[in-house]
Structure 1
């Protein structure tokens, strides 16, 4: 009798242990479907972001084709394609959406108030009206925020330090990007403090780049600030080439521009932001609500300087600035 009772206890214990394992096995049988909507081309920056997202998900145990399906849509640098692509990716019935940049984020937010949206990058979501606060977003959207408005003045300071004679700055921006409008206000404030005059060079589409640079040259600008925008990132090689032809020093928001031959950049590491976005995806898939997940900010900003470009421009970058750089390309 005692043997039977002991066997019964063991059987019950094993049954209790097996229950959660069976649930896990059942959940493992279902593939998580993640929708990704990006503005930059997949053959350029977009591809780098997707790879970083894959790596982040992989570190958390998600393997594409086994327990993960990625539904990726890219507007290939054309913002007008975003609404149609948003509808297309939503038709795949994703569990979670991952996106970046004000235009793509706002497009998805208008398209769904139900499917959780993870932002890999966004300019001040509270000021843009897409989150109630960083601590409690309060909607179907959370992720990582670049408080770029504050970074704009820092970039101007760095450009002035690299080019002491700087007096007239051209600002490359996209009027269709709501975040850029916020940044222009900061440009005005910072320019006044630094004793600079500035002029906006608006670029909504790549075919407007040539006209923008003609205006920059006519205005006799002696420096350029390119602020955050997914469309500008999409065409960074053309922008860097145009800056080189104008023979002007420029500072950019992201290092991808410096890798393409730009002079200097200061900002967060975007691929790392996509890697970190994977942690949000994992939490959502495990039952967390986006409204309850605080929006995080980058903890590290990179200063990257291209000395080859500086030499081409005849610039001598101060040693004090070089010592603070995270990477110097020689």
Structure 2
């Protein structure tokens, strides 16, 4: 078992014969873990938490939580996923924002050294809220991201609940407990003789909305009951 994309890539580099089950991984195809979701090939398979279509849902929930927001900043890391996946995700964000009537400000951060400049750009553009796209780097640097969002008084939506556990406002994404349970069935099937290459990579089917009410209070934000009622 390998937890996360980086661990799975390291395991894949270490062996071409021992079966590897990852859970969760970001973009398994774009990262080079598997050749395709339906036919992984090689000795690697598992569960993906990657769902680029959720970018629109996150914007919708953020707009509902902060109804008066006039501009939303979108923080993303170029190179976090394959070029095709990145373009698709950014396009989905643009379409969703247009439907919601909310202008977006795309802000790049290639590494932690870009964070201060990125948040300064958000302030200059007068962004009233923030959505952070999926990235292993953002999860690794979650303490600093969450602190900067609090410092700038930005209600923020994240793709991973780890950032909410660290003090972020809210997240919407795959239910990791469900993914890990399903990964256990993959391990069982491999131990019984099924080849990893014959097990398609499964994508998330259960999602969770996590809200940190302590952070909402610190931001002076009252989350509408219609949003709270959907939280896990």
Going by fraction, where is helix more abundant, 1 or 2? 1
Kindly indicate whether structure 1 or structure 2 has the higher relative contact order, using CA contacts under 8 Å at least 6 residues apart. Answer: 2
The equivalent position to 1:148 in structure 2, one of 40, 43, 51, is: 51
Give the Cα separation in 2 of the matches to 1:271 and 1:324. 18
Give the Cα separation in 2 of the matches to 1:274 and 1:284. 15
C-alpha displacement at 1:162, in angstroms? 0.8
Report which stretch shifted further, 232-241 or 193-202: 193-202
The equivalent position to 2:76 in structure 1, one of 156, 159, 173, is: 173
Matched, 1:138 2:44: no
The CA RMSD over aligned residues, in Å, is: 2.6
Matched, 1:278 2:184: yes
SS of residue matched to 1:98: coil
Give the Cα separation in 2 of the matches to 1:239 and 1:259. 13
Report which stretch shifted further, 134-143 or 194-203: 134-143
Cα pair 1:254 1:269 within 8 Å, conserved: no
Report which stretch shifted further, 222-231 or 173-182: 173-182
Q: How does the TM-score come out when normalised to structure 2?
A: 0.85
Cα pair 1:170 1:224 within 8 Å, conserved: yes
Q: Hey, what does 2:152 align to over in structure 1? A: 246
Give the Cα separation in 2 of the matches to 1:234 and 1:263. 17
- Work out the number of aligned pairs and report it: 229
Q: Hey, what does 1:83 align to over in structure 2? A: none
Give the Cα separation in 2 of the matches to 1:128 and 1:311. 38
**Structure showing greater Rg:** 1
Give the Cα separation in 2 of the matches to 1:138 and 1:301. 28
Residues 292-327 of structure 1: CA distance to partner in whole angstroms, max 9, x if unpaired?
Answer: 11222223211111222222222221111111111x
SS of residue matched to 1:191: helix
Matched, 1:265 2:171: yes
Structure 2 unpaired stretches of 5+? none
Q: Hey, what does 2:95 align to over in structure 1? A: 189
Give the Cα separation in 2 of the matches to 1:200 and 1:112. 39
Give the Cα separation in 2 of the matches to 1:265 and 1:114. 37
Give the Cα separation in 1 of the matches to 2:79 and 2:36. 24
Give the Cα separation in 2 of the matches to 1:161 and 1:215. 24
Matched, 1:100 2:4: yes
